[in-house]
């Protein structure tokens, strides 16, 4: 408006303003071939000129006989991609002369610059609007959003900062971006040639405070700043993963003693035995049974019996290696799985027996609980299946129980 109204009267300025407010557009249909002069259009005395917005009659007091006339109009259009998006309208040339070649060259060069500026401004306006919409959607989303290019984070929303525990400027300065990913999951985050990573599904990230969080992530390619990048959307699913893990753990463990349960044993023992076969290593399966435990339930009650079982489970675990595992197989029966063990079972039996007897003497001296054992070993030279191992171990256990009963 400031440019278009320069030098106009107030009445003329109001007319221009009314056209702008009405959204008046410029159409290329007005530029007839008969009026073309170089890349401009000249209409002597306005002959053949359709209605032109912003046309202001010349106020020149003296007109030369061969010069510009009051009704003359010179139009220089702004062409962008074959379409007119604006124009220069010459209503009153400063020198009062009709268009000359040098004047047209200057005006057409100015029109070309103006056309480029208008095109860029329109693109920036469209981009700005897209950016505003993008920011609104991402900043109000419940998902974390990272835009990554050249291994750097170029955009991050507030939710991502909350989940990862970083300030926005800290994330924007992080290079490479996959430092956020847990070391064990980083191979799926590495990329080549700017391609999106294969980071899909559930993965782990490291918060700024060092805590591990579980994320469900999706990655999509993205054109960013005229280059190839990608956008990462993610949800924090740590609570869900931890809940599922807890439920799974509870499903595989005895609720009273915290030991593994029979369901876990039936699945895991076959895997353990296959591993022994593959590496040709021995495996011992040992069964244990508490002697005189029934008297505790009969005389002290089942609540006290539960306490004894829970305490003894801890005593038993402290005698085993990290690679060994123990199962509560029945009421007062236990199964011990001892990988890579074929000898020294007598020493382990003695250690377990002593630990159980010592605890019993210290805690329930009037009801001395002890433990009997039986075992079977799988070796590469004499392979057998799980059922046979259990039968062999069970047979030894009950022989020892009968021997104890006979001795008492």
Domain membership of residue 349 (yes or no) is yes
Write down the pLDDT at residue 29.
Answer: 55
Nearest by Cα to 371 from 400, 343, 342, 396: 400
CATH for 217: 3.30.450.20
Question: What's the domain count of the chain?
Answer: 3
What does R_g of the chain's alpha carbons equal in angstroms? 44
How far, CA to CA in Å, does 151 sit from each of 43, 147, 207, 232? 59, 10, 18, 12
Mean pLDDT of 218-235: 78
290-318 pLDDT per residue, tens: 988 888 888 888 888 899 999 999 999 99
CATH for 348: 3.30.70.270
Q: Indicate whether 62 pLDDT > 70.
A: no
Per DSSP, the three-state class of 332 is coil
Write down the pLDDT at residue 151.
Answer: 85
Strand partners, 393: none
**Vertex 126: Cα angle to 120 and 129 (nearest 5):** 135
Domain membership of residue 398 (yes or no) is yes
Domain membership of residue 61 (yes or no) is yes
CATH for 90: 3.30.450
In this structure, the answer to whether residues 287 and 350 fall within a common structural domain is: yes
pLDDT winner (highest mean) among 55-64, 105-114, 160-169? 160-169
176-198 pLDDT per residue, tens: 898 999 998 888 887 666 567 77
Question: What is the residue range of 150's domain?
Answer: 141-240
Q: Is the pTM of this model over 0.85?
A: no
**Vertex 186: Cα angle to 180 and 189 (nearest 5):** 85
Place of tokens 């075992």: 375
In this structure, the answer to whether residues 200 and 290 fall within a common structural domain is: no
In this structure, the answer to whether residues 200 and 122 fall within a common structural domain is: no
Write down the pLDDT at residue 372.
Answer: 92
Write down the pLDDT at residue 91.
Answer: 76
> Where is the domain boundary, 199, 214, 240?
240
């Amino acid at each position: 408006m400031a440019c278009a109204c320069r030098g106009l009267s107030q009445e003329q300025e109001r007319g221009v303003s009314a056209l702008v407010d009405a959204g008046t557009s410029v159409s290329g249909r007005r530029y007839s071939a008969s009026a073309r002069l170089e890349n401009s259009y000249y209409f002597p005395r306005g002959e053949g000129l359709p209605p032109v917005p912003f046309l202001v009659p010349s106020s020149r007091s003296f007109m030369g006989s061969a010069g510009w006339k009051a009704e003359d109009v010179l139009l220089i259009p702004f062409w962008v991609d074959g379409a007119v998006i604006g124009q220069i309208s010459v209503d009153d040339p400063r020198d009062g002369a009709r268009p000359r070649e040098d004047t047209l060259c200057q005006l057409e060069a100015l029109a070309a610059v103006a056309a480029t500026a208008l095109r860029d401004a329109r693109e920036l306006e469209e981009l700005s609007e897209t950016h505003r919409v993008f920011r609104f959607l991402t900043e109000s989303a419940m998902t974390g959003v990272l835009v990554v290019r050249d291994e750097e984070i170029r955009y991050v929303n507030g939710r991502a900062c909350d989940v990862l525990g970083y300030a926005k400027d800290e994330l924007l300065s992080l290079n490479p971006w996959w430092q956020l990913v847990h070391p064990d999951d980083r191979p799926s985050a590495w990329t080549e040639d700017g391609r999106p990573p294969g980071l899909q599904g559930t993965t782990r990230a490291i918060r700024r405070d060092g805590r591990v969080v579980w994320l469900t992530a999706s990655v999509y390619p993205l054109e960013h700043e005229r280059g190839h990048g990608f956008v990462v959307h993610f949800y924090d699913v740590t609570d869900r993963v931890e809940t599922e893990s807890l439920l799974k753990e509870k499903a595989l463990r005895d609720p009273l003693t915290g030991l593994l349960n029979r369901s876990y044993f039936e699945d895991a023992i076959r895997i353990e035995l296959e591993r022994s076969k593959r590496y040709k290593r021995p495996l011992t399966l040992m069964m244990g049974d508490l002697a005189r435990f029934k008297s505790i339930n009969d005389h002290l009650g089942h609540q006290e019996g539960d306490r004894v079982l829970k305490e003894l489970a801890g005593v038993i675990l402290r005698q085993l290696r990290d690679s060994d595992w123990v199962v509560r197989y029945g009421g007062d029966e236990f199964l011990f799985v001892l990988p890579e063990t074929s000898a020294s079972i007598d020493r382990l039996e003695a250690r377990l027996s002593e630990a159980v007897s010592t605890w019993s003497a210290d805690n329930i001296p009037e009801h001395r609980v002890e433990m009997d054992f039986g075992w079977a070993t799988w070796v590469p030279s004499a392979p057998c299946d799980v059922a046979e191992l259990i039968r062999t171990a069970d047979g030894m256990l009950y022989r020892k129980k009968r021997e104890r009963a006979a001795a008492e």
